[in-house]
Amino acid sequence: MISWILAAAAAALFFSGSPCSLLFASGNIASSVAVSEGVIKMFNDMMMCKLSTPEEVKKDKKVVLFCLSEDKKNIILEEGKEILVGDVGQTVDDPYATFVKMLPDKACHYVLYEAIYETKESKKEDLVFIFWTPECAPLKSKMMYGSSKDAIKKKMTEIKMNYKQTCKEVKDPCTLAEKLGSSAVLSLEGKPL
């Protein structure tokens, strides 16, 4: 069944008349897309922000969006699509709701989000990787982003969790809370659930 689906997807891409950078290897879809140095540096900076001084922390990223470059060969930072830690409580009241509004309606993206949440036991912080796939995004885009996701996961090995979200799921912070700790999460970004 899976080989039939792969064959149908390959045929659809082939007959669409546009070049395809998907490679088929040992029955799995693989991508030839590379992760840019800027994305790797951003991830490392977000991992190290806990070791910074309070003034340095304000300049750290709370949320960043990644996308494929125009030539579809690299995963790059999306210019202007970020929230700084220092913005929270100043120009950004709810970082979760703000980053949800930053997501495009018809294009796939990757998101790295520093979630701050509270459980019955303690307050926690985790880096969360989100693969954003709106229902109305083109199938080819979904396939490209889906097959390129592993390149990011290999570079960001310390991420607590990663998951795929659609339009309906991302708008409800309870969906993320369930992934973070089921019913044990009481609040996300200081907002009760």
pLDDT band at 163 (very low <50, low <70, confident <90, very high): low
pLDDT 10s digits, 9-46:
444 443 333 333 333 232 344 568 999 999 999 998 88
Residue 191 pLDDT exceeds 80: yes
The whole-number average pLDDT for the span 62-88 is 94
Strand ranges in 11-86 using DSSP code E only, listed in sequence order: 22-25, 28-31, 34-35, 61-68, 74-84
The whole-number average pLDDT for the span 128-141 is 90
Distance of CA 102 to the CA centre of its chain: 12
Alpha carbons 9 and 43: distance in angstroms, whole number: 32
pTM score over 0.85: no
DSSP output for 93-108: S-HHHHHHHHS-SSS-
> Do residues 182 and 190 make contact, with C-beta atoms less than 8 angstroms apart?
no
Gyration radius of the chain's alpha carbons: 18
Domains and CATH numbers, the chain: 35-192 (3.40.20.10)
State percent of the chain over pLDDT 90. 41
